[in-house]
Amino acid sequence: MNPELAKLHPYPFEKLSQLKQGCEPPADKPHIALSIGEPKHPTPGFITEAVIAHLHGLSSYPTTAGTNELRHAIATWLDNRFKLDGHINAISQVLPVNGTREALFAFAQAVIDRSQDPVVLMPNPFYQIYEGAAILAGAEPVYLNCTAQNNFIPDFDAVEESTWKRCQLLYICSPGNPTGAVIDKATLTQLIELAHQYDFVIAADECYSEIYDDAAEAPVGLLEAAHEAGYTDLSRCVVFHSLSKRSNSPGLRSGFVAGDAVILKQFLRYRTYHGCSMPPATQAASISAWSDEAHVVHNRELYQEKFKAVLEILSPVMNVSMPQAGFYLWAETPVADTQFARLLFEQQHVTVLPGSYLGRDTAKGNPGANRVRMALVAPLEECIEAAERIRSLIESL
């Protein structure tokens, strides 16, 4: 077996399951799960119908690169959303993938040169795929703490030059999971300049970019920052997007990577061997989804309604605030995060994810400690009920 497998940490939900062992929650309170970031809003009917209407495509092998129609639909969306002025080539700079999770993992396997003592930088706390991808690619993960003191953005200025010199890949997540923090354009530009100076690639996980308050400015993207800074070839920049959150279609397993044409050419070569082409019906439905914005606007409205209601209940009793984007609340707990999560399940039958499970211990501690992640994915009524139960627990402590 690959010896690197032994270095992988247990997944957060495995730890959560162990934490809840021995608990007997009240039977008269239905369970409410705020722990998993799985969208629960209905998948738009036109996406479902597109899948059904194109099932005849099962008789043919799809290509790894996807259809030109899908890649053009994605390029058009990127151009419009991130103000690229046509500087995105649908054929050489866009590649469909089966959701961002598999692509984020596979990307590290393709770009890391394990013979060069590489490091992979990533935010802390983080989406665990970044760490597993780095380890199995033979690289050392380096964790950049995201704390309230730095507005939950990694302190890139604190990274030593020796680390930048070893860096081959930088994972960023903006809007952030679990914090909802958005990296601003100036910082993104700084990272692009560092990537060129020290010869590394930026992998930007932007799968929450379309969930934000419409009254505010849409989150900036890495390609947008690159274009505005004059890097119109998008060199060293690769972004990852998905229909799971944007279009409430997690089961569709559809997303894309886009950016540096030289890197994507090699990533396509890797994926051809990997064997992960997107089914034809999925491609057809994805064209429809990327070509429509009305359902995305409605999706944002549903989340904003839930944020408003839940924060009205919780703000008086705990340190929690509206995120810049995404659908998570990153709330501070009055006791240790693991103790809080266990008590909440045991006494109120509500599941949240301890923040320490999403982070790693560093010299300055675990930046996820004493926080919990709450995914406001359940229906409005359930989110309100969960908030009231959480408040009840806090008031009893």
> pLDDT at position 26, please?
95
> pLDDT at position 57, please?
87
> pLDDT at position 142, please?
98
> pLDDT at position 353, please?
98
pTM of the model: 0.96
Tokens of 332: 């501070």
Structural contact between residues 355 and 372, judged by C-beta atoms closer than 8 angstroms = yes
How far apart CA 226 and CA 84 sit, in angstroms, is 9
In CATH, the number for domain 59-292 is: 3.40.640.10
Per-residue buried b or exposed e for 290-325, using 16+ beta carbons within 10 Å of the residue's own CB? beeeebbeebbebbbebbebbbebbeebbebeebbb
What residue spans define the domains of the chain? Answer: 3-42+295-396, 59-292
How far apart CA 78 and CA 73 sit, in angstroms, is 9
Structural contact between residues 112 and 168, judged by C-beta atoms closer than 8 angstroms = yes
Structural contact between residues 241 and 209, judged by C-beta atoms closer than 8 angstroms = yes
> pLDDT at position 92, please?
98
- Name the pairing type of β-strands 371-375 and 353-354: antiparallel
Structural contact between residues 374 and 341, judged by C-beta atoms closer than 8 angstroms = no
pLDDT in tens, the chain (397 residues): 989 999 999 999 999 999 999 999 999 999 999 999 999 999 999 999 999 999 998 888 999 999 999 999 999 999 999 999 999 999 999 999 999 999 999 999 999 999 999 999 999 999 999 999 999 999 999 999 999 999 999 999 999 999 999 999 999 999 999 999 999 999 999 999 999 999 999 999 999 999 999 888 999 999 999 999 999 999 999 999 999 999 999 999 999 999 999 999 999 999 999 988 999 999 999 999 999 999 999 999 999 999 999 999 999 999 999 999 999 999 999 999 999 999 999 999 999 999 999 999 999 999 999 999 999 999 999 999 999 999 999 999 9
H-helix segments, the chain: 12-19, 45-53, 68-82, 100-111, 129-136, 161-166, 185-198, 222-228, 243-246, 261-274, 280-290, 294-314, 337-348, 380-396
- Report, at the CATH architecture level, how domain 3-42+295-396 is classified: Alpha-Beta Complex (3.90)
Q: Do domains 3-42+295-396 and 59-292 have the same CATH topology?
A: no
Helix H, strand E, coil C: the string for 302-321 is: HHHHHHHHHHHHHCCCCCCC
